[in-house]
Structure 1
Amino acid sequence: MSLLKNKVVCITGSSRGIGRACAVESARHGATGLILHYYGDEVTEKEVLSLKAEVEAFPGAKAVVVPGDIADASTAAKIVEAGVAAFQRIDVLVSNAGICPFSEFLTMPHATWERTRQVNLDGSFYITQAVANQMKSQTPQGGSIIGVASISALVGGEFQVHYTPTKAGILSLMQSCAVALGKYNIRANAVLPGTIATDINKEDLSDAAKREGMVKRTCLGRLGEPEDLAGPVVFLASDLAKYVTGASLLVDGGLFVNLQ
């Protein structure tokens, strides 16, 4: 199926993990334009260039890559400018860029709180606002915005006291954007991944006992993979979800509901 046929999709933090999987799945479903944001260091540059080649292997797909710190408001402006220059419009935003430096609460440096908030929440606000303005101005008007929040928006974590509020903020941001932007035919929804095996938690999950404990807490008996998020994101981006806005979709293998 080509759920995103001829659509232009913008993804922040696309070089690896969930962002990368969403880019590949978008191209697989017919997206003709991919705006691939990445941090901009040597490692992420290599990763995003390999991603660009991968998505452009799909028929009709073209990609532009845009570096920059998403915590800087000017990066959002550059992403939109580059995307519109290449493709004339933006139909879908996947606001995915984020960090999670695990830290003990009582001794956490304030700089850790500041940086986590700036990247995760401020960055999501900046790119959502910038893309929403483009979606409002283009013809035909409208689009789909998907914020990658987390199950951590709903529950707590001992070493995530700085992280969980940012993800709750993204969930709230999408809910309020759904209200603010509906009149422009712009939908806004959130996906809430559970424990997904990515670089963001690689070190934390290197503890075999902790990893096994997380696996046992899921109903499906496994950790998530980035590809597990890509399908729900494509659904929310597509016209199959044309009457879905302000929603939050848990993608956690049943982690949240499993109290036993």
Structure 2
Amino acid sequence: MLLEGKRALVTGASAGIGQAIAIGMAGAGADVAFNYDRGEEGAAATIAGIEAAGRRALAVRSDVADPDAAPAFVGAAQEAFGGVDVFVSNAGICPFHGFLDMPRETLERTMRVNLHGAYYMVQAAARRMVEQGGGGSIIAVSSISALVGGEFQTHYTPTKAGVLSLMQSAAVALGRHGIRCNALLPGTIATDINKDDLADEEKRRYMEGRVPLGRLGRAEDLAGPAVFLASDMAAYVTGASLLVDGGMFVNLQ
């Protein structure tokens, strides 16, 4: 029960990594509020998972690309739970597309959701933590794509590099308030975001072959690292980035 008594917020938690982190934090003792843009069934499953752990759940439907969604989400959690101790910026999209004919709207939407959305959400959570005192933990889900390139991800990789940089700068800006800011960098995690890409069996086998642990990641693989960074076990960890990729990044030979 590393998060017993804590109040955690997670964006984009109706499926995938966000859902796994939200339920994982509830299992570690936290009450959990989460945001989602679509997927009513998935949101209901997240609520059920949180409540099955014996914790309180709050679901708020909103689009992180809307700057006004951030204070509204944090405010709703404040009203329901009385405060914010942990914030996880997870919401993101990756519509794969080539570089030379990238539609303007695809680029701009990806930037608004992944980078601008993370910025506004983290800022709103930080403001609440500073106002209430007592510090807190902010975690942003970046990606191994912050460190490497991708032919069909020229719009996506800059946003994830930006999220990583945001956590580094926020760690400096918020350290005096006792707020720790860290980034998780997942490798290839099998979720809805890449299910079409991984439907190609040859590509899937290639990706699995690059991972020293011999398999692609599962959303649940991010829950433990997130709980650790949110907990007092990571009390002296800030500005850090944690790869959760089965060893893919170091397997370059």
**TM-score, with structure 2 as normaliser:** 0.99
C-alpha displacement of 1:77: 1.1
Rounded Cα–Cα distance in structure 2 between residues aligned with 1:54 and 1:109: 38
Which 5+ residue runs of structure 2 have no aligned equivalent? none
SS of residue in 2 equivalent to 1:93: strand
Rounded Cα–Cα distance in structure 1 between residues aligned with 2:26 and 2:142: 23
Structure-1 residue corresponding to 2:43: 48
Asked if 1:36 corresponds to 2:31, the answer is no
Which of 127, 135, 138 is 1:133 aligned to? 127
Asked if 1:95 corresponds to 2:93, the answer is no
Which of 175, 191, 196 is 1:203 aligned to? 196
Which of 83, 91, 102 is 1:108 aligned to? 102
Structure-2 residue corresponding to 1:84: 78
Q: Please give the root-mean-square deviation of Cα atoms over the aligned residues, in Å.
A: 0.7
SS of residue in 1 equivalent to 2:52: coil
Mapping 1:57-72, distance limit 5 Å = 57-59=52-54, 61-72=55-66
Mapping 1:173-212, distance limit 5 Å = 173-212=166-205
Structure-1 residue corresponding to 2:237: 244
Rounded Cα–Cα distance in structure 2 between residues aligned with 1:85 and 1:165: 35
Post-superposition Cα deviations, 1:3-31, rounded to whole Å, max 9, x if no partner, equal 10110010000000000000111111111
Rounded Cα–Cα distance in structure 2 between residues aligned with 1:89 and 1:174: 21
Runs of 4+ in 1 over 2 A off after TM superposition: none
Rounded Cα–Cα distance in structure 2 between residues aligned with 1:245 and 1:217: 30
Rounded Cα–Cα distance in structure 2 between residues aligned with 1:27 and 1:54: 8
Number of matched residues?
253
Task: Work out whether residues 146 and 190 of structure 1, in 8 Å CA contact, stay in contact via their aligned partners in 2.
Answer: yes
SS of residue in 2 equivalent to 1:66: strand
Which of 114, 128, 137 is 1:120 aligned to? 114
C-alpha displacement of 1:50: 2.1
Mapping 1:142-153, distance limit 5 Å = 142-153=135-146
Rounded Cα–Cα distance in structure 2 between residues aligned with 1:63 and 1:166: 29
Rounded Cα–Cα distance in structure 2 between residues aligned with 1:77 and 1:100: 25
Rounded Cα–Cα distance in structure 2 between residues aligned with 1:224 and 1:47: 20
Task: Work out whether residues 66 and 78 of structure 1, in 8 Å CA contact, stay in contact via their aligned partners in 2.
Answer: no
SS of residue in 2 equivalent to 1:73: coil
Task: Work out whether residues 193 and 252 of structure 1, in 8 Å CA contact, stay in contact via their aligned partners in 2.
Answer: yes
Asked if 1:218 corresponds to 2:211, the answer is yes
Structure-1 residue corresponding to 2:19: 20
Rounded Cα–Cα distance in structure 1 between residues aligned with 2:70 and 2:40: 18
Identity %: 60
SS of residue in 2 equivalent to 1:233: helix
Rounded Cα–Cα distance in structure 2 between residues aligned with 1:50 and 1:252: 26
Task: Work out whether residues 189 and 248 of structure 1, in 8 Å CA contact, stay in contact via their aligned partners in 2.
Answer: yes
SS of residue in 2 equivalent to 1:56: helix
Which 5+ residue runs of structure 1 have no aligned equivalent? none
C-alpha displacement of 1:90: 0.5
Rounded Cα–Cα distance in structure 1 between residues aligned with 2:153 and 2:52: 39
C-alpha displacement of 1:36: 1.1
C-alpha displacement of 1:182: 0.3
Which of 164, 167, 186 is 2:160 aligned to? 167
C-alpha displacement of 1:46: 2.0
SS of residue in 1 equivalent to 2:175: helix
